[in-house]
C-alpha cells in the first residue's frame, strides 16, 4: 500500500502506538507531522523516520498550542490528509475517589483534544474530498473496566464522536474510524503495572500476566499491531470502512 503524496498528523507520536504509527505511515511514503509534549521523544521519533518526519511539540489539551503545531506541519508538508488522534492517558481510582477535576482532565485529553484536532483539519479534507481520521480509543471505549471510570467515560465519548462524525462526512470522501486496542505494551501499561505492584505487592511479571489475561491470546498487544491497523484504515482499500470501532485485542471483545 502506498500513501505517497499524503501528509499525516499523529498526536502522541513520541512513543508507543504513536511512534509505531508514524513509522509505518512513513514506510508507506507518507509525510508525517509528529505532535506531543516531550520534544526529546519527538526528536527521537523524527530521527528514526528521517526526512519524511517533522516534530511539532505541543500539549494537545491547549487549543492554541495544538493549532500552532498543526499549522507548523502545514507549513512544512502542505495540506493534511490524515489525522491520527493517538495522544491519551488513564488515571486509576475508585469512582468515589475520582474527583470532578480528574474527570475533566480525562475528558480534555481523551475526547476534547481529538475533537479539536478534527475541527482544525477537517475543512481542508472536505474541500479536497479525501481524508482519513483515525481515533485511538481503547477496549475501554466499548466496555467497562473497574477503577478507571473517568477514562472509560472519555473513551466511550471518543467512540461516540467517531460514529457521529463518520455519518456527517460519509458522502464527502472522508472516513472516520476508531481502533480499540486491548492492553498494549506501552508506557501506559507500564504505569498500570507499577500501580498494581505498589498496591498489591505482586511482582512485575505477575502484574503483567494479570493484564495480559484479559486477552484470550494470553498476551499484551504490540504497538506495531495497532499501527498496522491504523495505516490500513488510511489506505484506499479501506475506503468502505467508516464509523467503525475496530478492536485489536485478541478476541477480548
In a domain, 171, yes or no: yes
What pLDDT does residue 251 have? 93
Sheet strands side by side (includes 131-136): 53-57, 31-36, 7-11, 82-85, 131-136, 174-181, 245-248
123 & 142 share domain = yes
What pLDDT does residue 205 have? 80
43 & 129 share domain = yes
Distances (CA, A) of 18 to 1, 15, 145, 189, 193: 19, 6, 23, 15, 20
In a domain, 69, yes or no: yes
In a domain, 164, yes or no: yes
pLDDT tens digit at each of 253 positions of the chain: 799 999 999 999 999 999 999 999 999 999 999 999 999 999 999 999 999 999 999 999 999 999 999 999 999 999 999 999 999 999 999 999 999 999 999 999 999 999 999 999 999 999 999 999 999 999 999 999 999 999 999 999 999 999 999 999 999 999 999 999 998 888 777 777 677 777 778 787 877 887 888 899 999 999 999 999 999 999 999 999 999 999 999 999 8
In a domain, 253, yes or no: no
135 & 210 share domain = no
Active-site position among 70, 151, 175, 250 = 151
What pLDDT does residue 209 have? 80
168 & 202 share domain = no
Is residue 86 classed as helix, strand or coil in its secondary structure?
coil
In a domain, 1, yes or no: no
CATH number for the domain that contains residue 174: 3.40.50.720
Which residue, 67, 36, 66, is CA-closest to 54?
36
Q: Domain containing 192: what range?
A: 184-220
DSSP one-letter string for 77-107:
H-S--EEEE-------B-GGG--HHHHHHHH
Specify whether the CB–CB gap between 17 and 32 falls below 8 A. Answer: no
What pLDDT does residue 210 have? 79
**How far is the C-alpha of 86 from the C-alpha of 12, rounded, in Å?**
5
Q: How many domains does the chain have?
A: 2
Q: Evaluate if pTM is beyond 0.95.
A: no
148 & 241 share domain = yes
> Where do we find the cell 460519509?
170
DSSP assignment letter at 148? B
Sign, CA dihedral 192-65-48-44, equals negative
Active site residue 151: yes
203 & 141 share domain = no
143 & 243 share domain = yes
- 170: cell is 460519509
**How far is the C-alpha of 152 from the C-alpha of 107, rounded, in Å?**
10
- 142: cell is 466499548
233 & 204 share domain = no
CA dihedral 57, 48, 118, 127 (to 10 degrees): 120
**How far is the C-alpha of 154 from the C-alpha of 140, rounded, in Å?**
9
Amino acid at each position: 500500500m502506498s500513501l505517497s503524496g499524503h501528509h499525516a498528523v499523529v498526536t502522541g507520536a513520541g512513543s508507543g502506538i504513536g511512534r509505531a504509527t508514524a513509522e509505518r505511515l512513513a514506510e508507506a511514503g507518507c509525510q508525517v507531522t509528529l505532535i506531543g509534549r516531550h520534544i526529546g521523544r519527538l526528536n527521537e521519533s523524527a530521527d528514526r523516520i528521517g526526512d519524511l518526519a517533522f516534530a511539532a511539540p505541543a500539549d494537545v489539551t491547549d487549543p492554541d498550542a495544538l493549532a500552532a503545531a498543526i499549522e507548523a506541519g502545514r507549513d512544512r508538508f502542505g495540506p493534511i490528509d490524515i489525522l491520527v488522534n493517538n495522544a491519551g492517558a488513564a488515571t486509576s481510582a475508585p469512582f468515589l475517589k475520582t474527583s470532578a477535576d480528574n474527570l475533566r482532565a480525562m475528558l480534555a485529553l481523551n475526547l476534547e483534544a481529538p475533537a479539536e484536532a478534527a475541527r482544525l483539519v477537517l475543512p481542508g479534507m472536505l474541500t479536497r474530498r479525501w481524508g482519513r481520521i483515525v481515533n485511538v480509543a481503547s477496549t475501554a471505549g466499548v466496555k467497562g473496566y473497574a477503577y478507571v471510570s473517568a477514562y472509560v467515560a472519555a473513551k466511550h465519548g471518543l467512540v461516540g464522536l467517531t460514529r457521529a462524525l463518520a455519518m456527517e462526512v460519509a458522502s464527502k470522501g472522508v472516513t472516520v474510524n476508531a481502533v480499540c486496542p486491548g492492553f498494549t505494551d506501552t508506557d501506559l501499561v507500564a504505569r498500570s503495572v507499577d500501580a498494581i505492584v505498589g498496591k498489591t505487592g505482586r511482582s512485575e511479571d505477575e502484574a503483567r500476566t494479570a493484564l495480559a489475561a484479559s486477552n484470550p491470546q494470553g498476551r499484551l498487544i504490540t504497538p506495531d499491531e495497532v499501527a498496522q491497523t491504523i495505516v490500513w484504515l488510511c489506505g484506499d482499500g479501506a475506503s468502505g470502512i467508516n464509523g467503525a470501532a475496530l478492536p485489536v485485542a485478541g478476541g477480548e471483545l
